Amino acid sequence: MSENNAAQSHVAENHTAGPHTAPEPRAERTLPAPPRDRRSEPMFPGGPVADPAGSHHERRIRSFRPRRGRVTLGQGDALRRLWGQWGLDIDGLSRLDLGELFGDPDLPVVLEIGFGMGEATAQMAAADPGTGILAADVHTPGQGNLLALAERKNLSNIRVANGDAIILLREMLEPASLSGLRVYFPDPWPKKRHHKRRLIQPEFIALVATRLRPGALLHCATDWEPYAEQMLEVLTADPHFENTQPDGGYSPRPDFRPLTKFEGQGLEKGHVVHDLIFRRKHT
């Protein structure tokens, strides 16, 4: 899974028609219709839109790339049929009532940023039906695949969010509304000049702290060693979080995080996967 990967710089260009021309003396003329920008149109009627936040919020360096990709017939069918029931666009225009979204005001909700094709998300949802998973990504095939998995496995505790997770956190989620945050295998942006695009930065963690309930877990995982080191440094420095490991280091992979195909391939190549599990302090 990647943001990860998920998440998140798809600003559509606006095209406007040229200036009006004077009408002919004996015939009324109309301007030609402006050209259509297909990048801003929904690929699936009633499904996720290309740029849900549009121009409502500031343009900034983002930690994700637009990832529409090739959608299979099954994924497209799931997007058309299920998006209105289990999907939402991150437009940043209103606050979310998570109890209403999941149909249970007492259900604890965990936000997962970047879920890839959704297999691990579906496994975690099936293993813990008493927790809601709000899964955010911009990968259209993955969104359709996760919706199809949720339907096939009868998982009513999954909701799929399309768009920028930072806008979701900042504009749409209430303070202390989340019972956890998962960021598994985000894009490591390995080139030094791209490090500013990495999601796990001090500003992001400060925002996350305002949306997590006391005692909530923030769980990150990566197979990119330099990024793991940055994550550990950033999380350790934030005064709102404490490391669940007494020695202040990395955590063993917990049983609730499935071993994904992507992760298995990395392990076969000798990659070392680091989990970091920090708890939101009560003060």
- Does residue 128 carry a catalytic annotation? no
Identify the band that residue 35 occupies on the pLDDT scale cut at 50, 70 and 90. very low
What's the pLDDT tens digit per position in 113-147? Answer: 999 999 999 999 999 999 999 999 999 999 999 99
Identify the band that residue 23 occupies on the pLDDT scale cut at 50, 70 and 90. very low
What per-residue confidence (pLDDT) applies to 115?
Answer: 95
170-187 burial: b if 16+ Cβ within 10 Å, else e: ebbbeeebbbbbbbbbbb
Enumerate residues 6+ apart whose C-beta is below 8 A from 1: 114, 115, 116, 117, 120, 121, 184, 185, 260, 262
pTM over 0.85: no
Q: Over 90: is that where the pLDDT of 264 sits?
A: no
Please give the residue that has the higher pLDDT: either 118 or 68.
118
% residues pLDDT > 70 (the chain): 80
Minimum mean pLDDT range among 58-62, 85-89, 216-220, 229-233 = 58-62
Token couple for 259? 């071993």
* Angle ∠(62,196,66) on CA atoms, nearest 5: 25
What per-residue confidence (pLDDT) applies to 55?
Answer: 56
44-70 burial: b if 16+ Cβ within 10 Å, else e: beebbbbbbbbeebeeeebbbbbbeee
Q: Of these residues, 137, 164, 187, 223, which one is catalytic?
A: 187
Instruction: Read off the pLDDT of each residue in 11-37 and give the average, rounded to a whole number.
Output: 41
The two most distant CA atoms of the chain are separated, in Å, by 86
Report d(CA 221, CA 216) in Å as an integer. Answer: 17
Locate the DSSP E strands across the chain: 87-89, 109-113, 132-137, 158-162, 178-184, 212-222, 241-243, 274-280
What's the pLDDT tens digit per position in 159-215? Answer: 999 999 999 999 999 999 999 999 999 999 999 998 999 999 999 999 999 999 999
Q: Which of 185, 188, 182 is nearest to 218 (CA)?
A: 182
Of 9-18, 50-59, 75-84, highest mean pLDDT: 75-84
Identify the band that residue 51 occupies on the pLDDT scale cut at 50, 70 and 90. confident
